[in-house]
Amino acid sequence: MQSGRIKKVKPMKRYTSLPIGPTARIAFEIDATRGACSKVAQTLLSNGRVNEAELEECARLDDALARAHRLLKATVRSIMLSRLKRSSRARYRR
């Protein structure tokens, strides 16, 4: 090989491939789990006697899942928007 004939190759991606797809699926599963918490709460309320401790635990789980769901969705959205901005800036520089 002659070094004068070698062209520099630009990398196609400048960022590490993150597991965005699996993370989005986890967000979907969190949402489905929140739905299950809601169904359990409805079942608890529809029974004649309400177990307040179980209802409180169900509400706490739902609150925690809601916070995790919002954080995960916001972070994925932020990463995707950041990538789109970088991609469009790179396109205009060429």
For 17-61, what is each residue's pLDDT tens digit?
778 888 888 989 999 999 998 898 888 889 878 888 988 998 999
Geometric angle at alpha carbon 21, from 20 and 27, rounded to 5°: 90
The letter for the amino acid at 66 is A
Cα(74)–Cα(58) distance, rounded to whole angstroms? 24
| Residue 13 resides in a domain | no
| Residue 65 resides in a domain | yes
| Residue 6 resides in a domain | no
| Residue 5 resides in a domain | no
How many residues can be counted in the chain? 94
**Whose CA is closest to 69, among 33, 20, 38, 39?**
33
Indicate the number of domains in the chain: 1
Using the predicted structure, report yes or no on whether residue 94 has a pLDDT greater than 80. Answer: no
* pTM of the predicted protein model: 0.67
Cα(31)–Cα(38) distance, rounded to whole angstroms? 11
Residue range(s) defining the domain that contains residue 52: 19-93
Average pLDDT over residues 9-21: 68
- For position 9, what pLDDT does the model report? 62
